[in-house]
Amino acid sequence: MREQRDFEVPLHPAGLEKTIGFIVNPVAGMGGAVGLKGTDGVEVLQEARRRGARPVSSERALLALQRLAASATSFRLVTGSGALGEDVARAAGLDPLVVYASPQGESRPDDTRNAALVMAYTSVDLLLFAGGDGTARDVLSIVGDRLPILGIPAGVKMYSAVFGTTAQSAGNLAARFIAAQPSVRVRDAEVMDIDEAAMRSDQLSARLYGYARSPHERHLTQNAKSGSVANEDMALDAVSRQVVREMKPGCLYLLGPGTTTRRVTDRLGLPSTLLGVDAIMDGALVGADLDEHGLIRLMKGRETHIVVGVLGGHGSLFGRGNQQISAEIIRRVGRERIIVIASMNKLLSLDSGCLRVDTGDAEVDAMLSSPIRVHTGPDRSVFFRVRA
């Protein structure tokens, strides 16, 4: 395990503005709601568009920049042209300096790396980017440890520790960083990614790509995905059996991704999609690896329940890796029909001390933001705090 290091936040001479580099990956996150588990590669992006996916990264980036723009500390913003950052910056009321433009006019897969290269040599104090793990990998591959980076969560896969817990948190943290607030440290943060091709074959293949220098403040940044321990298995198996016993006839159950919810389908003797969303009714699999539209079609006229686990060391409940269960689906199901399963060890290990939701819908996030029952064993549960 790599030794954790903290760095002092460098202070500028009085009166000298800090410079923030800002990059938006315009296609990040488009594959989530349509069940593609990412948008790495031209063919996958084309398929996402064919399925009706819409860009989401600019919306998330705008939320972050609005928080940053509201800060009392002045700063200089450098960015890429158009959808690479300029459009969002101007929408947030900022006047950015454009230092990179795509030669093709339209954004290309290597524009993130090229823009990061320019910014690495523009003496920026922080590189703020909107995307997912693939975008974090691209940025890290260029800047290394030359400058701190911070991610606005806008992708499908966000296992890396360089991301804010939400877009707003990333904006707040960036503002605190440039203000040199003593609560902000710069740490070595893991950059991880999962092989999308393996994911689509229902295989989980995670890899650590390196460590980035990244601003950190508890409750504003997420931890990398944590692993499970062997002694959790018995309790999780038992609670999964109880969930199966309590399933109501004629009701639809949507099972989120992950090994915890897979235990439920194992108890039923059914196949499951490890990294997708499946649907069960009356003990039978009625839909596998469904996207948002497929889930909504199945829900019509049926009482529906959602069964989810807690994702990784950052404690995500909705908005990380399970975007198919969209804000609209959660709104229709209702909070009282959400079944959360997690081991007590995982809950106790969460650095934030709470579960996180980041659905992209403020009303749904607010609906979810109160203590929720988490089933930790047979006839055992705890109420755990949820924060947006």
**d(Cα 242, Cα 259) in Å, to the nearest integer?**
17
Per-residue pLDDT, 9: 43
- 106-158: pLDDT as tens digits: 567 689 999 999 999 888 999 999 998 989 999 999 999 899 999 999 887 77
* DSSP designation for 82: G
- 52-83: pLDDT as tens digits: 556 678 999 999 999 999 998 999 999 999 99
Residue 4 makes CB contacts below 8 A (sequence gap 6+) with 187, 188
Whether 8 has a pLDDT exceeding 60, the answer reads no
Choose which CATH entry (3.40.50, 1.10.1060, 1.10.760, 1.10.155) describes domain 6-216: 3.40.50
Handedness of CA 224, 230, 235, 238 (dihedral sign): positive
The tokens describing 209, both together, are: 């790509």
pTM for this one? Answer: 0.65
Per-residue pLDDT, 3: 45
Q: What stretch of H or E contains 60? A: helix 57-69
Whether 211 has a pLDDT exceeding 90, the answer reads no
Q: How confident is the model at residue 48 (pLDDT cuts 50, 70, 90)?
A: very low
Query: Domain residues of the chain, as ranges?
Result: 6-216, 230-387
Counting Cα atoms < 13 Å in the Cβ hemisphere of 343 gives 20
Q: What stretch of H or E contains 115? A: helix 111-120
The tokens describing 61, both together, are: 């980036």
Residue 205 makes CB contacts below 8 A (sequence gap 6+) with 194, 195, 198, 199
Q: What stretch of H or E contains 308? A: strand 304-308
The tokens describing 289, both together, are: 């690896």
Contact call for residues 251 and 305 (beta carbons, < 8 A):
yes
